[in-house]
Structure 1
Amino acid sequence: MEKWRRTERITVITKYILDRPNELISLNNFTELFQAAKSSISEDISIVRDVFQQFGFGRIETLAGAGGGMIYFPQISGKNRDDFLKEVAFKIANPNRILPGGFLYMTDIIFDARTAQKVGEIFAQHFAAMEPQYVVTIETKGIPLALMTAKALNRPLVIIRDGSRVTEGSAVSLNYVTGSSRQIRTMSLSRRALPIESRVVIVDDFMKAGGTAKGMVELLLEFKSEVLGIGVLIDTKTPEKKLVEEYYSLLKLEEVNEEKKQILIEPYLVK
């Protein structure tokens, strides 16, 4: 029988729990793998827990009893969160991102794996206590952020289609009015994508007036879903009153001045 050193056990345990956030993991998994006593495994986990807490990598909770084990909750410390959002805001504030009509080019930032992962961890930390069963977004730019949120929560991702797709089978469609341009558009969700009466959170990349978010909420009500919260990477200063009352935003876009080539954007910092 191979004898595993503590450093080796800790390395494997760390990798194992990082791949299974928000999931109850039985200590038996490790006692059988390492052929070690529960007391030894418990000591290993205590070391991992203390290091994670010290460096702000997340929280590990242990549950006693026959059906117990441990759960890893991804977290990012307040300072690390603020520093990251300041970095993202600085990148977005580059005047070269201004497009005709006052739009901003942000695809490279949103689809950057590191950025999407960090944003997902921040959203997951905010929504975890609500115990959602699904993360919902609408195609396409919100998908990376929602996917990483779903990964950090260890929950399935559901994607609402912008329009309808024959390949989705039977679907529920909804016409909605965009809050900013007042255009009528259609979104749809396959009946197979989301069970009735699910608990969900919505994640998207951008909110101006909130028309798309309001449309998603109304569509999810057709599935009798409980919308626990809405998270967006960026919201705009105007209009001040959105079509959805409550949402969680990470960055506020205050102004895009095409003439002066100036973008004013600030992160919502931890108070």
Structure 2
Amino acid sequence: MRRSKRLVLLSKFLSDNPNRIFTLKFFGEKYDAAKSSISEDLNIIKDAFYEGGEGVLETIPCAAGGVRFRIKRPQKEIENFLSELCSVLSDRSRIIPGGYLYMTDIIFSPEYSSRIGEIFAQIFVEEEPSCVLTVETKGIPLALMTAKALGVPLVVARRDSRVTEGPSVNISYVSGSSQRIQNMALPTRALSKNARVLIVDDFMKGGGTARGMMELVRQFGAEVVGVAVLVTTALPAEKLVKNYISLMVLEKIDAELGQINLKPVKFPANEEGI
């Protein structure tokens, strides 16, 4: 295979399998090339990913030599995307009677959800989560794309246990916004005791659902390494969970005037990305 073709296939393979370590031997056998040739190819791809703002290709010390691709977008690109997203969601036609904001089409859009998942992954990759957890249903697309960008499994908690999933751990928690008692269940096979869990959800008002998921993780003896939310409300200011990351803050919805005050959250970062 000519180098030009091999570079294309290598680039696609790495971007399709982020955060996973592959050895030079693996690539040599896959593309029928010497390890020295593969090493040169990877150096070219590394420079291209970096200069194009696609991510970083890390060299991992191991017996046979390995590399790992991690998505890392420039901060300015992330800020522009979040500003665009706020603009789309601030359309007055999205106001639902009762003072709610319609976001379902954005959440279930592959274009938007994949980019949101990449941002969450970029923020929490150094915490080395071993899985992503969400609760059915609207948080699933964002959590799935985050899991894909991290190269880890997705785990979904349900509102009630299912016979088809075997024995489950069930908890009751108090909703932070309505103060109602709700249920959450997760199959016993879903989490291991030493799992490092990243919680992802689409919306947070009081933080009751996120806190419920944190309690569910503790029941398994696992560890929560972060909480990532697409949109949080400005009020109540005190949530039931601490140290969460939100990409946007909904400050106010005025149904009578048709006004939505939604702002992106700025993260401290250098020019290379978050």
- Normalising by structure 1, we get a TM-score of 0.96
Q: Which residue matches 1:83?
A: 80
RMSD value over aligned CA atoms?
1.2
Contact 2:89 2:103 in 1 (8 A): yes
Q: Which residue matches 1:142?
A: 139
Out of 202, 214, 217, the residue aligned to residue 211 of structure 2 is 214
Residue 65 of structure 1 and its aligned partner are, at CA, apart by 5.0
1:183 maps to a residue whose letter is R
Aligned: 1:186 with 2:183: yes
The within-5 A match list for 1:77-226 is: 77-226=74-223
Q: Deviations over 1:126-148 (max 9, x none)?
A: 11111111110000000000000
SS in 1 for 2:178: coil
Q: Which residue matches 1:37?
A: 34
**Cα distance in 1 between the residues matched to 2:17 and 2:31:** 19
**Cα distance in 1 between the residues matched to 2:258 and 2:198:** 36
1:184 maps to a residue whose letter is I
1:180 maps to a residue whose letter is S
Identity rate, percent? 49
1:268 maps to a residue whose letter is V
Q: Deviations over 1:171-190 (max 9, x none)?
A: 11111111111111111111
Aligned: 1:22 with 2:19: yes
Q: Which residue matches 2:58?
A: 61
SS in 1 for 2:23: coil
Contact 1:163 1:185 in 2 (8 A): no
Q: Deviations over 1:197-227 (max 9, x none)?
A: 3111100000111010111111111101100
**Cα distance in 2 between the residues matched to 1:152 and 1:37:** 29
Against the structure 1 CA distance between its residues 243 and 65, is the aligned structure 2 distance closer, same or farther, given a 3 Å change threshold? closer
**Cα distance in 2 between the residues matched to 1:175 and 1:135:** 21
Contact 1:124 1:152 in 2 (8 A): yes
SS in 1 for 2:14: helix
Residue 120 of structure 1 and its aligned partner are, at CA, apart by 0.6
SS in 2 for 1:91: helix
**Cα distance in 2 between the residues matched to 1:146 and 1:168:** 20
The within-5 A match list for 1:238-253 is: 238-253=235-250
SS in 2 for 1:11: helix
Structure 2, unaligned runs of 5 or more: 269-274
SS in 2 for 1:162: coil
Q: Deviations over 1:235-257 (max 9, x none)?
A: 11000010001101100101011
Aligned: 1:51 with 2:51: no
Structure 1, unaligned runs of 5 or more: none
Residue 64 of structure 1 and its aligned partner are, at CA, apart by 4.5
**Cα distance in 2 between the residues matched to 1:188 and 1:237:** 29
**Cα distance in 2 between the residues matched to 1:33 and 1:245:** 46
Against the structure 1 CA distance between its residues 197 and 258, is the aligned structure 2 distance closer, same or farther, given a 3 Å change threshold? same
SS in 2 for 1:217: helix
**Cα distance in 2 between the residues matched to 1:237 and 1:34:** 52
SS in 2 for 1:229: strand
Which stretch shows the higher mean deviation, 193-202 or 120-129?
A: 193-202
